[in-house]
Chains A and B, each alone.
Chain A
Amino acid sequence: MPHDIVQVGLQHHKSGDEVGAAACYTAAIVGSDSAPTAWQNLSVMAARDGYLTVAAVMMRKALQTTSNRLSALSNLGNILWRIGEFAEAEAVLLEAQDLGPSEWIVQHNLGLLNLAQGRFDLAIEHMKRAMGTAPREMFSKICNDMGCATLAAGDLGLGFKLTEPEWNMPNTPVWLMGFPEWTGKEDLKGARILVHHNQGAGDTLQFCRFLPKLRALGPKRVIVAVPYSLKRIVQESFNWLDVVDINEALPKADLHVGMGTLPVRLGITRDDVKGDRYLRAGVVASKSKSIGIVWSANQKNRTGKERSIPLEAMLQLALVPGAKLYSLQVGDAVADIERLGADLLVKDLSPRIRDFYDLACLMQGMDLVVSADTAPLHLAAGLGFPCLGLMSYVGADWRWGARGTETSYWYSPKLKLVWQQNPNEPWTSVVSRAMELIEL
Chain B
Amino acid sequence: MAQVKLYTNGLGGQINTQSSGTVFVSAAGTITVNAADVPDMLRLGCTFVMTQVRRQYVPTPAAASATGIVSNVTTANGALTIAAQPGVGRQLAIVTAPGSPGITAGTLTMVYVANDGTTTTDVFSLIGATTTTPVTTKGVLTLTSATVAGLVGGTSPTIEVGTNAVLALPIDKGDSSLALLKETLDGSDVGTNVGTLAAYGLYTPHTAPNGTHTYMVDYAALAETDN
- Expressed in whole angstroms, the minimum distance between the Cβ of A10 and any Cβ of chain B is 9
Q: Does B53 contact A (CB under 8 A)?
A: yes
Could you tell me the distance between the alpha carbons of A139 and B43 in the complex, rounded to whole angstroms?
Answer: 17
Q: Which of A11, A139, A171, A264 is close to B176, meaning CB atoms less than 8 Å apart? A: A139
Chain A residues within an 8 Å CB radius of B9: 185
Binds B, one of A86-94, A158-166, A340-348: A158-166
Could you tell me the distance between the alpha carbons of A143 and B36 in the complex, rounded to whole angstroms?
Answer: 10
Could you tell me the distance between the alpha carbons of A184 and B196 in the complex, rounded to whole angstroms?
Answer: 31
Chain A residues within an 8 Å CB radius of B51: 168-170, 181
Interface size band for A = 35 or more
Asked if B224 and A146 sit within 8 Å, CB to CB, the answer is no
Binds A, one of B73-81, B128-136, B150-158: B128-136
Asked if A132 and B1 sit within 8 Å, CB to CB, the answer is yes
Q: Does B108 contact A (CB under 8 A)?
A: no
Q: Does A436 contact B (CB under 8 A)?
A: no
Interface size band for B = 35 or more
Q: Does A136 contact B (CB under 8 A)?
A: yes
Interface residues of A in 151-197 (CB under 8 A from B): 158, 161-162, 164-166, 168-171, 175-176, 181, 183-185
Question: What are the interface flags for B1-18 relative to A under an 8 Å C-beta threshold, 1 for contact and 0 otherwise?
Answer: 111100001000000000
Q: Does A33 contact B (CB under 8 A)?
A: no
Q: Does B163 contact A (CB under 8 A)?
A: no
Q: Does A331 contact B (CB under 8 A)?
A: no
Q: Which of A4, A133, A137 is close to B199, meaning CB atoms less than 8 Å apart? A: A137
Asked if A132 and B34 sit within 8 Å, CB to CB, the answer is yes
Q: Does B70 contact A (CB under 8 A)?
A: no
Q: Which of B102, B218, B222 is close to A165, meaning CB atoms less than 8 Å apart? A: B222
Q: Does A235 contact B (CB under 8 A)?
A: no
Asked if B35 and A175 sit within 8 Å, CB to CB, the answer is no
Chain A residues within an 8 Å CB radius of B176: 136-137, 139-140, 165
Interface residues of B in 4-60 (CB under 8 A from A): 4, 9, 19, 34-36, 38-39, 42-43, 47-48, 50-51, 53
B interface, CB within 8 angstroms of A: 1-4, 9, 19, 34-36, 38-39, 42-43, 47-48, 50-51, 53, 102, 128-130, 132-135, 174, 176-177, 179, 181-182, 196, 198-199, 218, 220, 222, 224-225
